[in-house]
Amino acid sequence: METTTTAVEFPANVEAQKLARKKAEKIALENNKLHKRLCRLVGQAIGDFNMIEDGDKVMVCLSGGKDSYALLDILMTLRERAPIHFDIVAVNLDQKQPNFPPEILPAYLTELGVAFHIENQDTYSIVKRLIPEGKTTCSLCSRLRRGILYRVADELGANKIALGHHRDDILETFFLNMFFGGKLKGMPAKLQSDDGKHIVIRPMAYVKEEDTQRYAEVKGFPIIPCDLCGSQENLQRKQIKGLMREWDKKFPGRVESIFSALSNVAPSHLMDPKLFGFKDLKADGLANPMGDIAFDEEPCSTPTTFGTIPLQAL
């Protein structure tokens, strides 16, 4: 007589499976929350700056990095939900860098079902020929890319050019200009192109880099490293990135406060005569809420244990 045996699951195995299911459900929930947050922040930036309008053709510049992949993915999601119609075309500039895998992006974009164009231009050789070894290549590389992308936008009939810069990029640019260029200048969410023919938009202006990093891992984007700027370890931008990371760790909320300040500017309290008419400023006897408050308590001062010091004691 044949006997049959029935597999018995031990309590430890059952408990392990339950824990694994709970962990998987938690991860799925967090990933869904991340996607919703990115859609909300990108949608908010688009609305705040009126970046995309009905009938627009948006050229999404796809570098192969995590940020531009995330931008394309979120814009495609929002396009399905938007009350207006706009077209998307993904464009990659193949700069002929060594070891660049030319087959990855066409395969990915074909599978995604989005219109795309690959522009082949050997800017890598130009940059390597003109920039001495060890010097920063970003400036020349950026200028060459910009001119090519403007031309491609014309050829494709795109009136909006979308870039994947996020909140951290914007802040880093602000500090770079201030520390090394002597300018209070950032990276706006929307501006007119150098040639005056296009509008350049940064829909991820409100998104943190850590969110694009995690989103890229969740989605499994086929990341392509850059052998030009990405290979330079001594960049000033990396110094600024490290400084911001340290602030975020030691002083939570500081980075958010600085970013908010970019949208809350008081030209009369700076020192640029091109932005405010200091030369023509005269006392007119009218109360002005934006007037001088030099004698008031500083808004960011730390209260002392001695309370407020009377003006007469100073």
Task: Name the residue type at position 241.
Answer: K
User: Of 14-28, 135-149, 252-266, which has the strongest mean pLDDT?
Assistant: 252-266
Reported as a pLDDT band with limits 50, 70 and 90, residue 227 is low
For each of the domains in the chain, give its residue range(s) and CATH number, in order of start. 25-229 (3.40.50.620)
Say if residue 234's pLDDT is above 80. Answer: no
Do residues 85 and 54 make contact, with C-beta atoms less than 8 angstroms apart? yes
Strands in 199-201's sheet, in edge-to-edge order, are: 115-120, 87-94, 57-61, 160-162, 199-201, 190-192
What is the C-alpha to C-alpha distance for residues 111 and 64, in angstroms, rounded to an integer? 15
Say if residue 120's pLDDT is above 50. Answer: yes
Using CB atoms within 10 A of its CB, is residue 35 exposed (0-12), middle (13-18) or buried (19+)? middle
Q: Is 141 annotated as a binding residue?
A: yes
Work out the average pLDDT over 30-35. 94
Task: Name the residue type at position 215.
Answer: Y
Say if residue 261's pLDDT is above 50. Answer: yes
Reported as a pLDDT band with limits 50, 70 and 90, residue 294 is low
pLDDT in the model for residue 95: 79
Work out the average pLDDT over 108-132. 84
Work out the average pLDDT over 159-187. 94
Q: Is 229 annotated as a binding residue?
A: yes
What is the C-alpha to C-alpha distance for residues 9 and 7, in angstroms, rounded to an integer? 7
Work out the average pLDDT over 77-99. 91
Portion of the chain with pLDDT greater than 90, in percent:
57
Reported as a pLDDT band with limits 50, 70 and 90, residue 93 is confident
Say if residue 300's pLDDT is above 90. Answer: no
Q: Is 138 annotated as a binding residue?
A: yes
